[in-house]
A and B are shown apart, each in its own frame.
Chain A
């Protein structure tokens, strides 16, 4: 992410400065302004969905949805807790129904409950992101509405092609991420200095464990402050 961001910003800035130096700062500012507008509208949407989610949780709807998705989820997301699986099935069903705005807060909660505090995304987190990024929507309602408005004679004839395209991309994404997960697992086995090995051999590698502990402390401190600030 750091590298991609650097490339995008650095090259764009250089190009902008050459073409029209006056506008370079204004463009950055308009990007920031857009983020606030968008964030406020997202705040409104998330407020409603997180409230509904809270009620759904209390009436036990989440558990029932979880049961429905369990046969698939158990295989795809091996070793996740029940709570995480619950959020994952909520996220997936919201996506299937085309409620993208509801899917996002549930996806965030799913990632939160999958997290073990490490700085690297786990294979299951990556998989959830890939499934979301390849979209699993059954009916692309927004696009159909736009086509209708543009005067299409058969606006819904894109449903079947979309279904095929999204199925292919999602299956492809799942296979690729499983493949990447398997490859990185193998690489970890061969690399003696990888983090996985260090965790296992904490006792025999005192230096490494000291390094790890100091890192933990430095990571926890700001987190604690942030939590305190919230209350």
Chain B
């Protein structure tokens, strides 16, 4: 069912647009042009943040942070196997998907660990990507409390996920 939503929606928009005499071709050209401008303003931030993330994960620093935070996470009721995922999740979308895959292979897709991990990935977002990309075209680069609040709220969600998965 859900696989029809996207194509049907796009067909609907184009057909209604055509009936209402919207220049569909010109709209696409202008959309791509906007996307190009967007790309140019995003890329510097994107590149910078990915250099930092790459350094962070390949230097083994994430493993140290994991060890540091493990007692905190286990005290909150989060299994220690999920610590790595919780640290990578706000930094890298692809990284956390890859990690989720390896958790499935290691523990089985229907295990408690795998279910918790699925809920954590499904119910959160790549916070640092959002923080850099959303604000890339405006001058506002002092995000004040936005990042810490997002991280705290996401971790509250993760704790809830581990509790809920135990009972549902």
Say yes or no for A205: interface residue by CB 8 A criterion: no
- The CA-CA distance from A133 to B100 in the complex, in Å, is 19
Q: Fill in one digit per residue for B53-78: 1 if any A CB lies within 8 Å of its CB, else 0.
A: 11110111100000000000000000
Residues of A within 8 A of B (CB-CB), count: 98
Within 8 A of B (CB), among A122-153: 122, 125-126, 128-130, 132-135, 137, 139-144, 146-147, 150-153
Contact A150 B105 (CB under 8 A): yes
Chain A, range 70-109, C-beta contacts under 8 Å to B: 97, 99-100, 104-105, 107-108
A49 CB → nearest B CB, Å: 8
With a CB–CB cut-off of 8 A, which chain A residues contact B145?
126, 176-177, 180, 184
Q: Is the CB of A32 within 8 A of B50?
A: yes
Q: A165 and B157 in contact (CB under 8 A), knowing A59-B16, A130-B149, A132-B134?
A: yes
- Give residues 77-107 of B contacting A (CB, 8 Å): 90, 94, 97, 100-101, 104-105
Residue B8 lies at the interface, judged by CB distance under 8 Å to chain A: no
The range of chain B's interface size is 35 or more
Please measure, in the bound complex, the distance between the C-alpha atom of A169 and the C-alpha atom of B44, giving whole angstroms. 30
Query: Roughly how many angstroms separate A56 CA and B144 CA in the complex, as a whole number?
Result: 33
Contact across chains for A15 and B60 when beta carbons are under 8 A apart = yes
Binary interface encoding of chain B residues 127-168 relative to chain A, with 1 for a CB under 8 A from any of its CBs, else 0: 100110111111111111111011011101110110011001
Identify 4 new A-B residue pairs, CB closer than 8 A, beyond the known A115-B140, A118-B140: A39-B39, A59-B22, A132-B130, A134-B125
Q: What residues of chain B have their CB less than 8 Å away from a CB belonging to chain A?
A: 2, 5-6, 10, 13-14, 16-17, 20, 22, 24, 27-28, 30-32, 34-39, 42-43, 46-56, 58-61, 90, 94, 97, 100-101, 104-105, 109-110, 114-115, 118-125, 127, 130-131, 133-147, 149-150, 152-154, 156-158, 160-161, 164-165, 168
